[in-house]
Each structure stands twice: as C-alpha cells, then as structure tokens.
Structure 1
Amino acid sequence: MGRVAGKVALVTGGGSGLGAADCAALAREGARVVVTDVKLETAQRVAARIGEGAVAMELDVASEEAWIATMKAVDEQFGRLDILVNNAGVVLNADVEETTLEQYRWVNSVMSDGVFLGCKHAIPLMNRNDGGSIINMSSTGALLGYPIFFAYSAAKGAVRSMTKSVAVMCQEKGYRIRCNSVHPGSIETPMVQQAEGRPGEEREVPSGVLKPGASGAPEDVAAMVLFLASDESRFVNGAEMVVDNGVTIRPF
C-alpha cells in the first residue's frame, strides 16, 4: 500500500465499470479519490464502498461549466489535484452510414469534448502544486478498424491524439505533468455487455493468463491506471498503453 499515498485523484465515469475499478485501486494505494459521474447516486455508491478515502461529485463531462465548478470544489476541499483519469464513456453500435449527426455529436461530446475539457481545466490546478499525471482512457478502437463502433472509435482516436499534444505541451512549458492514454480491448464491463447485446449479463473472468479472444477484468485496466498515476511511471509520457491480451498484434 502507498504507491499513490498523499495524492488526490479525480476519476470521471467513476460510478461503474472501469471507472469504479480505477477508484478502488487508487484508494487502496493511498490516494484520496474524487469519484465523479453524470449520475450522482452511482458515484455515491462507489465512494461509500471505498469509505473514508473517497468523495462523490456529480459531473457531466460534456459541460464546461460543470468542469469549472468541479475543479473549484476539488480545490476548496483538497487544495490540490495530482491525478486525473478521463474515463467517462458511452458506446453506440452503428457504422458510418447508420450514424446520425446527432448521435455522432453526442458520443464525441462525452469522450472527445469531455477529455479536452478535463485536461484544460485540470492542468492549472495540477500545475499549481507538484504537477501530476493525466490518464486518458482511449481504446483499441483508436488502433483498429471497427465499423460498428464508428463514432466511438472517432472519439477514442481524438483522445489518442490529444494525449500526445498535452504531453508535449506540458514538457515545453515546463509543467511537471505527464499525460498518457490507455487502450483497453474487450473488458467485462456494463458498456461491453451493452455493446455485445447482453445488458446486465455479467460473465466471470478467470484468473491467470487468459486465452486469445477472452475478455479481461476491469482490474486489469485499473492496474495500468495505477502504474501511470504513480511515480513509478515518471519516464512514461505521451505513450499508448495497450491492455488487450494481444488483440492488436495478431495477424488475423
């Protein structure tokens, strides 16, 4: 215990799935965690499970006003921010011909605009103290062609590119802030269950090394997030951390 002791972390979309696992991992290793979600009650449930080391806040990541208010609240309560995990996401099953402009804008408002706003408004607070680590949740959808997840992949591709831009900017301006993206493959979460047409049907993920094509557990991604949040990863910046059990390297 203690890999992120003394640090303050904010996780978006922390009420379920990957976000909830990230919150639990960061709190277990000593961070004070701000669990945010567009649905306050889900964030409150996660914070209650974690206990004293977590607080819940409502946050619509697509709203700049909400980000400004949340950063103010974090500053007032903790006086600092060391870790930002831009995790909030939505999924839409539709290819480019089926996707409406309204749907495309909605998906990108959450995952492209939301990451942009998170980085923009967290950096000043992080930079005021000792800097920190920004972890942007992308996807293998940013690395491979998935026709059925057109809008989702577009947003995750933007996250991938924004991450590199933020990393270089912080270095050039002398900010002690690193920024990396995480690219999970299929992980057993409510979002994947929905995408696969089995909402609420949870499948058990076995322990040990997984077979090709198997889904991972949220904790598999949380372990990477914890590494990037900690000082252990001080020399990792602007990187694409792929957590996919080898999906992106298979020749077929």
Structure 2
Amino acid sequence: MSSAAQIVLIEDEPAIADTLSFALQREGWQVRHFALARAGEADLAAQAADLLILDIGLPDDSGFEVLKRLRRQSEMPVLLLTARAEELDRILGLELGADDYVVKPFSPREVAARVKAILKRTRASTPSNTEVNSEQSAAQYFVHELAARRVYFCGVMLALTPSEYRLLVALLAHPGHVLSRAQLLDALGDAAEDSFERTIDSHIKSLRAKLKLIRADLDPIATHRGFGYALAVS
C-alpha cells in the first residue's frame, strides 16, 4: 500500500484493545483507540480513517447504533467485534452495513488478517502513489467512487458528512468552474430544505479542514469573492 492505513478502534476492554492495537501496529498500520462510542465518533468526524474496528457492547452506546449513524454519512469499512455468537446478531451487523465480524474470544492474528483483506478490497481502486505533482489539475488529486459514495483525496478516504459529500461531488463535476452559493445549495438536494446560502461557507470551511489534514500544502477549493467556489485547476 502507498501509505499506512489509518484504523480507528472502539473497544472498551483495555486488555483486548492493547493486544489488538499491538497486532495491528506490527502490520504497519496506525491505530487510534477509543473506549467510548462518543469519543470514537468525534474522532471520525474530525479526521479521516480507512477502517473502523467496532465493539458491539460499548458502555455508552450500542455498536449497532454507532454503525447505523456512520452509514448515514459514510461507507467506511467496518469490522465488528462481538461477544455474541447468535446468528441474528451477526446478520443484523451485516445488514446494517458491516463488512465483516469476529466473535470473541478471537486471535489478534485473525483480526489482522481480516483487516488486511478488507483494506486490500476497499483500497484497490485508490492511487498507488500518493505523491502528486503540484502542477496537475486539482481534480486529479481526487478519486470518486460513485457506487460506494466515497471520495479519496491523495489516496486517503475522506470522512464526509452527506452535505460535504454532495458539495464536493458538485465541485468535482465542474473543475475550474465557479459555482455560486445558490448552485451549491441546490446540490444539497433534500438536505438544503432547512439551510441557507451562508451555511455553504460553513460546509466549505469544514471540507477544507479535512483536506488540510491530509495535505497541508494544498488548497484545492478556491474562493471567488462575491461569486462562489470552484475546484482549482492549474
């Protein structure tokens, strides 16, 4: 892989979390661990990740509820950890959008192998080389997987809200063209019913912050004062 995968682990049992983190880091992946659902969700909202490992039985919320909320805005791969061996629980997790599951007790090596398989499958279509030439069109920094509703920036999957996703896709569809706030508001579709043009500025600010976390030297969304925004091209 072209870069170390970013993995978020939400697991409240310290022994399991420590063992898993060690096994995953040995594979060369970076792990961000959280014991509570709300802490893990806050991290995912703030910065991108390539995969979520999610315990079903968390002290502050059900892992199923976390998965449902995540699927409203992201297709990030999810591996479930569960102490429940019942078939209905496993089926529910998969129906809610999980990519795989492991039943406790499990081998850390098995989890690592499953993570490797998921990452290989989901990152296969991303660029193999994340080094991009600054003279290239900004549109070439992005990969949009339409069916999965995922956008990659410099090879890293963006954790986007539905509104951010729609705005970015609208800009990607017209690189170099200035889209007014009214046009971008139209791109939000149903999500725009309770929105105002000034909220576009807030969404753009959030989008830029997420892009900066991946490439601080790039600012592909250009502001055209008095007109709107455009995906910059050289």
Larger radius of gyration: 2
From the two aligned structures, give the one with the greater strand fraction: 2
TM above 0.5, yes or no, is no
